Amino acid sequence: MKVRKPPLRSCLGCGREADKRELVRFVRTQDGEVHVDPSGKLNGRGGYVCATMQCFEAAVRKKRFATALHANLREDDVERLRREFEHTLST
């Protein structure tokens, strides 16, 4: 049996590469909004962050969402995403 290599993605916060199932996906949907995508199945440009607040905050601070998702996050978008992300971590 051939073992399939898990698809690796790098975290927007710390840059570490990990199996995408260990990371939380963010996606920019068609309407230009950025959402947390726990299913990993939403269509759109996506980016991954480790399942820790530190990496989320680092990604925000380094403006990695703007680079990776081509989305300009306003302060209230960041607030909303932070809540969505926290919710995802707690479930």
**6 vs 32, which CB is nearer to Zn ion?**
6
Using CB under 5 A as the binding rule, whether residue 14 contacts Zn ion is answered as yes
CB atoms within 10 A of CB 73: 18
Alpha helices (runs of H) in the chain, residue ranges in sequence order = 53-61, 64-69, 75-90
Q: Is residue 46 close enough to count as binding Zn ion by CB under 5 A?
A: no
Q: Which of 11, 68, 69, 73 binds Zn ion (CB under 5 A)?
A: 11
34, 36, 55, 68: which one contacts Zn ion (CB under 5 A)?
Answer: 55
Task: Give the whole-angstrom CA distance, residue 61 versus residue 90.
Answer: 23
Q: How far is the CB of 30 from Zn ion (least distance, A)?
A: 27
